[in-house]
């Protein structure tokens, strides 16, 4: 058995846990919105047509923020199409996903849904095919109390109170040639700065996110961030990062170490942002909004899309049934986001329902939790207080994609007021179990409040409509606290949650 130790101290704090790390993403892609969030004829639908079973699962998931309406979709979206009487809204082609959009669900519906779900809305603007004027119009419609043409229009549409959206994304993946209205870094940087400046003239208190690289593998990565921030450094609060990972062939070791790439991505964006700030002589600090991340079998989607898809309303796109292995990787990515809580201030798992999702539904039928639902929900539920600077002493694992990596991935949070310390741990080794030892005497560790593990002899097992609970966390069979020392045996390719009573 492999052996690892973790070292932590209550005095060594990274940052308070940012609740916005537990965000998700809703895009008009596939069935995320239509028959996902909204299905007026569903047996559980409320007066607005929102699926009640999905709302229950979203609340259980612990999502804090939801980004909307895209994604690639937003770069061709006219926000005006999605407001007003539903029967008078235009039907449009969406070139991003080659679908037909009914616009039966739009800005007002999303804000009502977000309030019902108890989440903060995060609005993305179209800076692909539109610009400053349209951004200001949407801001006025959404946030101005009344007495102007657009704010009064919102009132006539039934929203008498302003939507009060504070967090705005200045476009989406504008570095990508696939994006409608794709721009160079210079072109986008100038447009983002003009848009941010105009929006702040309306409301200086908004929080704005500039588009960073849509992938660390982009040929413009690094240079894109530097150029964009040279234009926007004094005007935005965060710059975005997007990353998706998947199992390639049988290389489970590399897949389990996916968070190593995310870690490098974060550190390199931070270094670039701080370099620009130093060059500009600025006292401001730019943080990261990791507003798209997940496991996504994108290669399979691309391989199946050699022929143009027929134009349909809400087709099934990327409805992957996530496995135990996928769930362990998702848990590891969450560990990385927490470890960088001092600079990653928001994050959005992509997406929430049906399309590369945590929750799946069937039209007229049930909703169920994917395997990836569980590490997200348990992390969001249990971590609180501050992230600690945890260090590990662990054997290394050779991977083809990432080189030698620690076989243990772990993070800890400490909440003295709640008397709770939480350790999240992933054994990245696909075949070997690992013993983990952590001395918690300085925290006054008393015992385990909860110990769960997500692992399975069949790493390809997944939850389905017929077996919605095939993959669930189990009571940890080999975890204990003795004389202030936490000890646990981590199965191969596993994610563990260890909640310790302290104080």
What residue ranges do the domains of the chain occupy?
Answer: 2-9+387-501, 18-382
Q: Is 417 a catalytic residue?
A: no
In the DSSP assignment, the letter for residue 310 is: P
Low pLDDT (below 70) residues in the chain: 305
Three-state DSSP state, 286? coil
Convert the pLDDT of each residue in 355-387 to its tens digit.
999 999 999 999 999 999 999 999 999 999 999
pLDDT at 108: 98
pLDDT at 215: 96
Q: What is the DSSP string of 333-388?
A: HHHHHHHTTTTEEEEEEE-SBSSS-SEEE-TTS-EEE-TTHHHHHHHHHH--SEEE
pLDDT at 302: 78
Alpha-carbon distances of 349 from 198, 298, 496, rounded to whole Å: 29, 15, 20
pLDDT at 497: 98
Catalytic residue among 80, 101, 140, 173: 173
Q: Is 475 a catalytic residue?
A: no
pTM value? 0.97
Q: Distance between CA 288 and CA 403 in Å, rounded?
A: 26
For residue 99, list its beta bridge partners: 94, 312
Alpha-carbon distances of 352 from 40, 286, 372, rounded to whole Å: 19, 27, 11
- Token pair for 33: 């919105």
Q: Under CATH, which architecture does the 18-382 domain have?
A: Alpha-Beta Barrel (3.20)
Catalytic residue among 27, 101, 134, 292: 292
Q: Under CATH, which architecture does the 2-9+387-501 domain have?
A: Sandwich (2.60)
The candidate with the shortest Cα–Cα distance to 494, out of 452, 439, 447, is 452
Contact yes or no for 195/214 (Cβ under 8 A): no
């Amino acid at each position: 058995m492999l052996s690892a130790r973790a070292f932590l101290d209550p005095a060594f704090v990274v940052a308070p846990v940012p609740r916005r790390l537990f965000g998700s993403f809703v895009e008009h892609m596939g069935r995320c919105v239509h028959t996902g969030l909204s299905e007026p004829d569903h047996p559980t639908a409320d007066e607005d047509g929102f699926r009640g079973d999905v709302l229950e699962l979203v609340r259980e998931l612990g999502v804090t923020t939801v980004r909307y309406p895209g994604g690639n979709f937003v770069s061709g979206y006219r926000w005006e199409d999605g407001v007003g009487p539903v029967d008078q809204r235009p039907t449009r082609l969406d070139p991003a996903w080659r679908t037909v959009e009914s616009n039966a669900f739009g800005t007002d519906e999303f804000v009502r849904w977000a309030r019902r779900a108890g989440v903060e809305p995060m609005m993305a603007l179209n800076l692909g095919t539109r610009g400053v004027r349209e951004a200001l119009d949407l801001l006025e419609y959404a946030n101005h109390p009344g007495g102007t043409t657009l704010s009064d229009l919102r009132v006539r549409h039934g929203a008498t109170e302003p939507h009060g959206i504070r967090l705005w994304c200045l476009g989406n993946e504008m570095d990508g040639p696939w994006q409608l209205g794709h721009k160079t870094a210079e072109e986008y940087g100038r447009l983002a700065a003009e848009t941010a400046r105009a929006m702040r003239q309306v409301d200086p208190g908004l929080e704005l996110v500039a588009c960073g690289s849509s992938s660390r593998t982009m040929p413009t990565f690094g240079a894109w961030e530097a150029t964009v921030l040279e234009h926007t450094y004094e005007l935005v609060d965060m710059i975005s990062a997007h990353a998706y990972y998947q199992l390639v062939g049988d290389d489970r070791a590399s897949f389990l170490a996916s968070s190593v790439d995310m870690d490098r991505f974060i550190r390199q964006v931070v270094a670039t942002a701080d370099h620009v700030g130093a060059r500009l002589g600025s006292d401001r600090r730019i943080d990261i909004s990791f507003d798209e991340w997940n496991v996504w079998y994108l290669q399979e989607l691309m391989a199946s899309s050699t022929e143009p898809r027929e134009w349909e309303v809400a087709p099934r796109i990327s409805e992957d049934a996530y496995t135990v292995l996928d769930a362990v990787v998702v848990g590891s990515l969450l560990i990385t986001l927490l470890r960088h809580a001092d600079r990653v201030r928001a994050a959005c798992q992509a997406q929430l329902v049906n399309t590369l999702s945590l929750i799946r539904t069937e039209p007229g039928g049930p909703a169920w939790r994917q395997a990836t639902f569980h590490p997200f929900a348990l992390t969001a539920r249990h971590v609180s207080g501050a992230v600690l600077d945890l260090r590990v002493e662990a054997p290394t694992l050779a991977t083809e994609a990432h080189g030698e990596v620690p076989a243990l991935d772990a993070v800890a949070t400490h909440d003295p007021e709640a008397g709770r310390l939480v350790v999240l741990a992933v054994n990245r080794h696909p075949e070997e179990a690992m013993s983990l030892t952590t001395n918690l005497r300085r925290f006054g560790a008393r015992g385990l409040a909860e110990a769960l593990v997500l692992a399975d002899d069949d790493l390809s097992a997944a939850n389905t409509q017929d077996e919605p609970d095939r993959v669930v966390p189990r009571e940890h069979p080999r975890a204990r606290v003795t004389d202030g020392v936490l000890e646990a045996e981590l199965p191969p390719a596993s994610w563990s949650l260890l909640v310790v009573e302290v104080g």
